[in-house]
Chain A
Amino acid sequence: MASIAFNNVTKRFGDTIAVNNLSFEIADSEFFCLFGPPLSGKTTILKLILGLEKPDDGEILIDGRPVNHVSPARRNVAMVFQNLALFPHMSAEQNVRFPLAERRMDESHIASRVADVAAKLHIGHILHKSPAQLSGGERQRVAIARALVRDPVAYLMDDPISALDARLREETRVELKRIQNELGRTMVYVTHDQEEAMSVADRIAVLEAGSIRQIGAPSEIYDNPHSSYVARMLGAPAMNLLELDKGRASALEGALPLSGLAVPDGAAQIGIRPEDLLVGPALAAGQGLVRVYEVEPLGGVTVVTLQAGETSLRAMVRGQPKIDPDSQVSLSVAAGQACFFAGDGQAVRI
């Protein structure tokens, strides 16, 4: 129903710049993920869209219309807060119907909408309880129901499922994605969990200190990070970043030959995803510099932590190969699967 655009938006709190000259556009019906470490400005961006904070500079547009001076109540954007922010003195049902009642909708319409949403989120049986009587997961769903009950132009969610246990989180994640598809509304979703960002988003914005470092589809950001910062943010275990040796033909002082790779000019660092780092048996002299530090079998894959001098790096191997801790191994890089970065962290290509 609506696109959301930021034009050179800046927001300061005292001396700290929370959002720094930001420009981006979220397309209509897009599942847009804001992803970054704590204090990178994710929540502030949501509050700016909601109108709970006013930008110091720049312009925010919803559906092409500037909304800088429109009150939160009139922006027609729904929000699920990080700490849920249910109204504790009201029952779950009163919480869910609140947005409609405040807009003076007629009683029969409210009742049918509430019933609809309750069915969708499976909370019909707990509507009479007060938030204090609900479990964490139930509260979560009530908070989501309160956002879904009306018909806003966009939904904003601030890390809404971080309090759930792992299994419930995966379920809710899938559910949210499905609901968003079904409603066809724009969704702005804040998370600090890279797996969550990768799995649900149409596009991800990777944030650092109030600036967007890269925007793109998850696979694009994963395969083609614009900087070493972005490269390290996505992927678990994180990408290995290694200084290149003199001559750029190897890394780790010769322990990692880069023979099959074309190293671009100006590259100072090589980035290798753990799944692209290949572990082999120790070769002859000069190759035995890498020692196995720890082996974590995870079922389908095994994560091997390696130690080369002072540097620690991680490789991901399919299956459960027999690798002994403290043994010596050799390393190589899968053909064509590496990123290169200049001294300032920017990606360099050939």
Chain B
Amino acid sequence: MNRSLPFEIFRYAAILSLVALSLVPTLWMASMAFKPIAEWSATGADLTWWPKSPTLDNFRFLFGESSSELIVALDRTAGQPILSSLLSAVFGTLIAMISGTSAAYGLSRFGSGGNLPLALIQLRIFPPMAVMIPVMIMWAFLGLIDTWYGLALVYGIVTMPFAFWLMKTFFDDMPREIEDAALVEGCSRLRVFWKITLPMMRPALASSALFVFILNWSDYLIALLLTTRDWVTIPVYMASLSSSMTGQLYGAKAALGLIAAIPPVILGIAIQKHLVRGLTFGALKQ
């Protein structure tokens, strides 16, 4: 590949500017999380990239220990919303992955539940609002409003189609002969699934679970409708971070945003090593 120098310069300039463009808001958030109120409030005519007097006050404020002049006393700290987000997203992801994977396996291997793929897509055809209002009524009837498990259940149902479709393509791509071989060598169907299929599917499971988790973790609308007070999630809680005197509490929001970014990043790093290798690398002859 022998490209001209001007072209290369242009190429890198374009790439760098796009990367910068997409990173600026994130970096600005990170910087703002460590600024005292004077530096992020609207009065600050001299906004700087680097905090002039860095402080952890925004974080302390979120957890109810602020000593600064942040005007409002919060009626609740960030601890409960973080717990709520974690519980509902994790269990929602578990529900979606377990049911989606089983359904995908059944359909891919045995053709069971013939119209299931289309039926599952229906859940996604309507705008979420149209689906969620009836769900809200049902959940109220069942007493599941404002509980983490009620939210987890909805998350599981709503993201299950993604888990199902992703896993189905992975199962479809897995050569049947590998399972056949295990059957011939003395395994029962169930044992084949445990000993052969699931271990082989680890990369697929990891990437699907990450995708589903991020969907659940970043939901705002469903949580807004189905939680009221005790179990609001991080996004809903974040929206409430304002006061009549100072308006939006940007510093606290930035701090919370930074906290909210941690779980997906950790998960992403944790599964990265599973993603580099192909699914059936070495199983078949080339």
Contacts and interface: CB of A to CB of B under 8 A. Distances in A.
Contacts of A86: 178, 181, 282-284
A72 B185 CA distance: 8
Contacts of A134: 282
B184 A87 contact: no
A65 to B, nearest CB: 18
A81 interface: yes
Contacts of A226: none
A73 B286 CA distance: 28
Contact of B282 (A50, A88, A99, A103): A88
A103 B186 CA distance: 7
Of all A-B residue pairs in the complex, the 8 with the closest CB atoms, nearest first, are: A132-B282, A131-B282, A88-B283, A85-B177, A102-B186, A99-B185, A85-B181, A83-B284
Contact of B186 (A73, A85, A132): A73
Interface in B252-286: 277, 280-286
Given A87-B196, A88-B200, A73 B282 contact: no
B285 A83 contact: yes
Interface string B216-232: 00000000000000000
Given A81-B177, A81-B180, A102 B285 contact: no
A82 interface: yes
Given A89-B199, A89-B200, A84 B284 contact: yes
Contacts of A52: 180, 183-184
B187 interface: yes
B281 A132 contact: yes
Given A87-B196, A88-B200, A77 B184 contact: yes
Interface in B160-187: 175, 177-178, 180-187
A84 B184 contact: no
Contact of A83 (B177, B184, B199): B177
27 contacts: A50-B184, A52-B183, A71-B188, A72-B183, A73-B183, A73-B187, A79-B181, A83-B285, A84-B283, A84-B284, A84-B285, A85-B175, A85-B177, A86-B181, A87-B178, A87-B283, A88-B178, A88-B280, A88-B281, A89-B200, A99-B186, A102-B187, A132-B281, A132-B282, A139-B282, A140-B285, A163-B286
Interface residues of B, number: 25
Contacts of B281: 88, 132
A83 B175 contact: yes
Nearest to B281: A132
Q: Which of B182, B280, B281, B284 has the largest count of A CB atoms less than 10 A from its CB?
A: B284
Contacts of A82: 177
Interface string A62-73: 000000000111
Contact of B184 (A79, A89, A136, A140): A79
Contacts of B187: 73, 102
Given A73-B187, A73-B188, A85-B175, A163 B180 contact: no
Contacts of B196: 87
A130 B183 CA distance: 21
A131 B286 CA distance: 12
Contact of A139 (B180, B183, B285): B285
Interface in A301-336: none
A126 to B, nearest CB: 12
A133 interface: yes
Contacts of A130: 282
Given A99-B185, A132-B281, A146-B185, A85 B286 contact: no
A87 B182 contact: yes
A98 interface: yes
A78 interface: yes
B282 A133 contact: yes
Interface string B87-128: 000000000000000000000000000000000000000000
B185 A102 contact: yes
Contact of B180 (A85, A133, A146): A85
A88 B201 CA distance: 11
Contacts of B200: 87-89
B55 to A, nearest CB: 50
B3 to A, nearest CB: 35
Nearest to A43: B177
Nearest to A82: B177
Contacts of B180: 47, 50, 52, 72, 79, 81, 85
Interface in A80-114: 81-89, 98-99, 102-103
Contacts of B283: 84-88, 131
A331 B188 CA distance: 63
A89 B196 CA distance: 8
Contacts of B284: 83-86
Interface string B183-198: 1111110010000100
A89 B191 CA distance: 15
B87 to A, nearest CB: 32
Contact of A98 (B185, B202, B280): B185
A77 B175 CA distance: 21
A131 to B, nearest CB: 4
Contacts of B184: 50, 52, 72-73, 77-79
B105 to A, nearest CB: 17
Given A73-B186, A88-B200, A89-B200, A81 B286 contact: no
Contacts of A88: 178, 200, 280-283
Interface string A291-307: 00000000000000000
